[in-house]
Amino acid sequence: MTPDWPEVVRRVDDHAWARDITDHVRADFDRWQPGLVIPGPATPTAWTHHYFCDDDGSALTFAPDSPHRHVCATCGRVYRGEPWDGAWRTTVHNCVAAQAQRAALVLRLSPEPAQRERARAALERIFATYTRDYLAYQPHGVHAGRGRVQPQSLDEAVWAVLLLRALRWAGPDALSAGTRAALPRFARAVADLLRPQISAIHNIHCWLLAAVAECAALLADRELLDWCRDGEFGARAQIARGFHAEGLWFESNAHYHYYAVAALLSYREATGPDGLDQDSAARLSRAVSAPPRLAYSDTRLPAYGDGWPDCWTADFAPHAEAAWTLLPERPVDPAPYYRVPRPGPVRLWGGADLPGGVGVLGPRRSVAALVFGPDELVSPPGDDERSLVWPEAGVAVLRSDRARLTLRFGPDGGWHDHRDKLAVDAETAGGWQSLDLGTSGYGARFTAWMRSPVAHNLMICDGRRQPAHTGRLLHASEHRVSAQSAWDGHTLRRTLQLADDGWTDVFEAEAPATGLLEWVFHGDGAFAPGAGHPALLTDDGPDQDASDRDALGQDAGSASTAAGGSPRDPEHDTGHGWLREVRRLPVPADRRLTGAWDAAGSPVLELDVPEGFVAYAAVADGNPTGLPLGVVLLRGRARRARIEARFRLPDRP
């Protein structure tokens, strides 16, 4: 399904937003062209998840002219050597593939003959180099299969899709006869590398399918195309088994949801109408339409599991724009993705965040909008404020005009799941938020904290992570939801109830024997007990219980004493060691602890503390809003516990 280039040219002539995209693509092509050197096969690439800071989880700043010095964007820490140099080389290969897409667009859309010739020369250099050297790159990889040019099968597949899409868009005449003659050998080698690695229902394997389908289309290999569609882990199986009935991808977060969607749209683009049947196309369309309903009021998407915390609906508008053309059976309206515009550089079409331009455009700024989207948005941007329950996906959202709450109870999401059944996230109309922290680069030490139980609004049993399991919905209505989670003799039940002045949150736990139970809730700002939000004390005053301080792992970054492990071992680090400014809170005689977070819109928390339980306040890092993360923690030994929390919002003006 190659873009209708005469129609794209007409769009550029008729619409200023399309002209702006084209002008910026042309400028970015000229900006990136000088000095863009393709790394050779002598030195292998490395996982880009290493390209993050151990101390704060921030991405390192990629500089095309700095192959051996890599700087944290937040704290300025400098990293040298491997694996950071290898991750830099991986990114450069992606930059080359991105430049191939720009070159194809310039060749099709630039009015300047000289620039079109530069684009043709760039495509020739890129494809001549890779078709000549591809088999000289040695297969390598340790995390997600093996690549040649790239460090794993996933990166290899995304890179190959970008390259072969650019060639399909430019047309075969863009290359010399010699390079065209070498293309079948290149495509066959890519397919031979990736096809044997397709072996699961997973976002990675969706990208492998898309890459093999691009190779099969170039080779006109009908048998291989049919295999990509109908194989045990082919496109039909990925869509039928990977997406829940409500439209969410099984890996539990928006980032991997859209990553799989982009791969399957890329697959459809390569194969054309024969690549999907009607039912598969309809289900994929639903996968594009569903996620905006989970967004917060500011359109941030929840970062469940290994989701990225800086994640907004507008970031995924290109997927909806592409689906407009690529899923003609049920076109997707892109308008809901633009409810809160996010201006920025032009987004290339590829499913990955590619290093790109620096100019700022308005909301419709993607190549997908340019080549696949409608001329105009067909409806006003939507704003669905209803409560919802998606039983198969295991997500319930309660909404009122004063608060939004989400309770999650669904099936395990695989490796990317944070094992946090019955976790809750919340926001108030006043702007206060209690968000899931998501993740950082998987090679960064800080990710152990973000995956830990203490980093989630949970009940923790015996100082351990939950095992993989599926929760169960008990009740759902417009203003109330209740769900259960059970494993190894532990049974947890959580009930949320909206009220005019806020909400209640009741957590009930039953264990097979007396053991450690911990209730955790966090939100924007430091938490302080009592009225007036007094400053949180951080020194060792008389109320400080040294043994409890040690048990919580006061020194940030230390291993959890409850379950052993280390900060680089997310399976065993429960997260206590990442808390700082830990303070034991005095509990009144009536066992009702009252306090609030010192951030705008904070509710007042009224918390019933069971007999024998101790209360703490602490601060931690990683809050997606950028504010301090104020943690409230109750800890006690019991076989059964019932903890009721009432979140009171200020009186209406």
What pLDDT, on the 0 to 100 scale, is given for residue 1?
86
| Cis, peptide link before residue 328, omega less than 30° from 0 | no
What pLDDT, on the 0 to 100 scale, is given for residue 569?
54
| Contact predicate 316/294, CB 8 Å | no
Q: Which residues contact 486 (CB under 8 A, 6 or more apart)?
A: 469, 472, 492
- What secondary structure, in 3-state letters, does 507-544 show? EEEEEEEEEEEEEEEEEECCEEECCCCCCCCCCCCCCC
Tokens of 449: 């904290």
Tokens of 375: 């001329």
Q: Is 485 left (phi over 0), alpha (psi -120 to 50) or beta?
A: beta
What pLDDT, on the 0 to 100 scale, is given for residue 382?
66
What are the sequence ranges of the domains in the chain?
A: 201-340, 388-648
Pick 388-648's CATH classification: 2.70.98.70, 1.10.1040.10, 1.20.58.340, 1.10.3720.10. 2.70.98.70
CA distance 252 to 176: 46
DSSP, res 179: H
DSSP, res 247: S
What pLDDT, on the 0 to 100 scale, is given for residue 566?
40
Residue with token string 């949320």: 496
Q: Closest by alpha carbon to 410, among 401, 402, 400, 422? A: 422
Q: Which fold has domain 201-340?
A: Glycosyltransferase (1.50.10)
Mean pLDDT of the chain: 91
Chain centroid to CA 415? 14
Distances (CA, A) of 332 to 241, 290, 317, 318: 21, 10, 11, 11
- Taking 70 as the pLDDT cut, the residues of the chain under it are 351-356, 381-384, 531-571, 653
Kindly report, residue by residue over 603-634, the tens digit of the pLDDT: 999 999 999 999 999 999 999 999 999 999 99
What angle is formed at CA 403 by the lines to CA 398 and CA 406, rounded to 5 degrees?
40
| Contact predicate 317/367, CB 8 Å | no
